[in-house]
Amino acid sequence: MPKTKTKSETANIYAVVGSDEAEVKHAAAELAQNLVPDDSGDFGLEVIDGVADNADQAAGRIRSAIEALQTLPFFGSTKVVWLKNANFLGDDIKARSNAVQTALEELSALIDDGIGPGAILLISATEVDKRRSFYKALAKRAELQVFDRLDSARAGWEEEATEIVLGRAKKRKLQFDEAALELFVLLTGGDTRQIDNELEKVDTFLGKDRAVGVKLVRELVPLSRAGVIFELSNALSVRDLELALMLVRRLLEQGEKAVGILLAAIVPTIRNLLLAKDLMEQHDIRRPHSPFQFIAAMNRLPAKATEHLPRKKDGSINAYSLGIAAQHTNQFDSSELIEAMRACLDANVKLVTTQLDHELILTEVVVRLLRR
């Protein structure tokens, strides 16, 4: 589903934009097909390639769209003009050029004046600068669909990605158990193209059987960067030293920076374990069987009990990550987790202030965290 959708003031201007390239292309192609009248034949759709190599070429594509909109359709039917995959609506040299901005002003003026009942304008683009006047005019006048790719580095992305996976799995009648769903989400990292590809792979493999378990997900779905980070976090949580060291080495071999591994995987894991354990001890919460059990328990707590917890951009608590951590708090004492946070701080200082081997620093901190 699109992250945002707005209704148009007129019924003949449509736009599909966003950073999720696979979703934008799919949604735009489907919309174009639906907009073309059944009786228009080959004359109902005029596609203008929006992929331009330079500013002059981009301005030419925009004016081609304007000309197409002003040309009456054959036989009095409706014509769809699709400015497809426009790459000059973002924030680069080409998009900022006078030639492109002047051409966009001409298109914007045509949209404001009305393009007439015989034509429909469809624009699709994956790079859009939402600060520019053309986008603001488009948002006001067009029926706009925005598909933005989930950022797996942002807190709380897992919940949105889970909704996407569940919705698409339901269409295929696939039934994930909780652990398999959690793993699938983290391995695919919220990338809708990979989600679709991996669901198709699972669908084909299962045949008539619709049940999806952890073992199948591990066998079929490759480890993405987010997946390796998740596996590292999981290895730390269950105190699997050998696996944790192997995953640290793999991330370094993939070109990840040591400080990035520390701050993206190790520190959040230890912090969430410590926060979850503290909540459980302070408020007598039992170790949950699933993250959602812990989330339900947290929701029953007074606001004062959770005011210290990290927040997402919208101000809500990143409860899902805490719920995952709560399942593994039995592996650690509170004193061990406090010491682990100190070890992470020491490692961070060494990584940014010394010339010591980075793999050695990470190996040392992982051993300090997991040794019994």
Nearest-10 Cα torsion for 231, 232, 235, 236:
-150
Per this entry, what is the length of the chain?
A: 372
**What is the Cα 298 distance to its own chain's centre?**
26
pTM tops 0.75, yes or no: no
State how beta strands 143-146 and 4-6 pair. Answer: antiparallel
Task: Give the contacts of 341 (CB within 8 A, at least 6 positions apart).
Answer: 267, 270, 271, 274
pLDDT by position in tens, the chain (length 372): 445 555 544 568 999 998 888 889 988 999 998 888 776 666 788 899 999 999 999 999 999 999 988 887 665 578 899 999 999 999 889 999 999 999 999 999 988 887 777 889 999 998 888 888 898 888 888 898 888 877 665 656 777 888 889 989 999 999 998 888 988 887 887 788 888 889 999 999 988 888 999 889 988 888 767 678 878 888 999 999 998 999 899 889 888 889 989 998 899 999 999 999 999 999 999 999 888 889 889 989 998 988 888 877 667 787 888 988 999 999 999 999 999 999 999 999 999 999 999 999 999 999 989 887
Domains plus CATH for the chain?
Answer: 4-146 (3.40.50.300), 157-222 (1.10.8.60), 239-290+319-370 (1.20.272)
Strand partners for 14? 122, 143
**Token pair for 85:** 């995959």
